[in-house]
Amino acid sequence: MFCSKCGTQNDETAHQCIQCAAILNPDPAPQHAPEETPPPPGAVPNYLAQSILATLFCCLPFGIPAIVYSASVNGKMAEGDYAGAGEASRQARTWCWVSFGVGAGVWALLGIPMLAAIALPLYLSAVSDSQVKTARANMQTIANAEQAYRTRWQAYTSSFEALSADLGTANGPSGPGSRTYTITIGAGNCTDNCPGGVCNSLGAAPSTSFSVSDNIESDGVYCPGISPD
């Protein structure tokens, strides 16, 4: 290596010229790492509101880490640690979803059976009430046909075939369910319209009258002029 100042030959590894002490290999200028550009406002969400909601309404154990990470986002942004703020934001979002998923699973496992336990009895009760009302309406229809038969023939009958002209069927109405109906000529115990499946006795029908019942005791007995329509 030759010195650019005096032309003296020097060793290749020499730092200074042996003749004039000139610097042969000056140190390169130090290079500075480029400054990190801050992200635009709002580009790094902290998910704090979502974390609080997930903690309160979904799953507390998994919601707490979400709040911790959420609370650190703004602090890291203020310190200029944008990479750390981004990582904290991602962790907060992840724990929010974990809390939501676990909470939803728990609600599905416990909430649905609880709702079913409440709704099923209400549904069965409504179905039962509807069937009783339908059965009582059928009894009244049979009684109306019986009254029409007596007007024509001055007598009652227990035969549905004899009432077919008014009922439109030789077997009488059927249902709901497996219900079948019976006409009893003469005295019989009469009931009200059995609200809630509980029948209250209204006394006996006159021996010159009739009553209509079915094979379900909780539907009661319909007596024209005594039982309510």
pLDDT tens by residue, 133-171: 899 999 999 999 999 999 999 999 999 999 998 998 888
Checking if the pLDDT of 72 tops 90, the result is yes
Task: Assess if residue 150 is contained within a domain.
Answer: yes
CA 121, 123, 125, 128 torsion-angle sign: negative
Task: Assess if residue 24 is contained within a domain.
Answer: no
Q: Average of pLDDT values for 66-93?
A: 91
Range of the domain at 165: 129-222
> What is the phi-psi region of residue 34: left when phi exceeds 0, alpha when psi lies from -120 to 50, beta otherwise?
beta
Nearest CA to 224 out of 184, 195, 196, 197 is that of: 184
Task: Assess if residue 32 is contained within a domain.
Answer: no
Higher pLDDT, residue 29 or 121: 121
Higher pLDDT, residue 34 or 150: 150
| pLDDT score, position 197 | 67
Task: Assess if residue 174 is contained within a domain.
Answer: yes
Checking if the pLDDT of 36 tops 70, the result is no
Question: What integer best gives the mean pLDDT of the chain?
Answer: 85
Task: Assess if residue 71 is contained within a domain.
Answer: no
Torsion of the alpha carbons at 92, 93, 96 and 97, rounded to the nearest 10:
-150
- Number of domains making up the chain: 1
Question: Which residues, in sequence order, are bridge partners of residue 9?
Answer: 2
Checking if the pLDDT of 30 tops 60, the result is no
Q: pTM higher than 0.75, yes or no?
A: no
CA 148, 152, 153, 154 torsion-angle sign: positive
CA 70, 72, 75, 76 torsion-angle sign: negative
Nearest CA to 134 out of 174, 188, 165, 168 is that of: 174
Task: Assess if residue 185 is contained within a domain.
Answer: yes
Structure tokens at 140: 């009244």
The per-residue pLDDT for range 173-202, each reduced to its tens digit, is: 888 888 999 999 986 788 887 776 678 888
Task: Assess if residue 170 is contained within a domain.
Answer: yes
Task: Assess if residue 66 is contained within a domain.
Answer: no
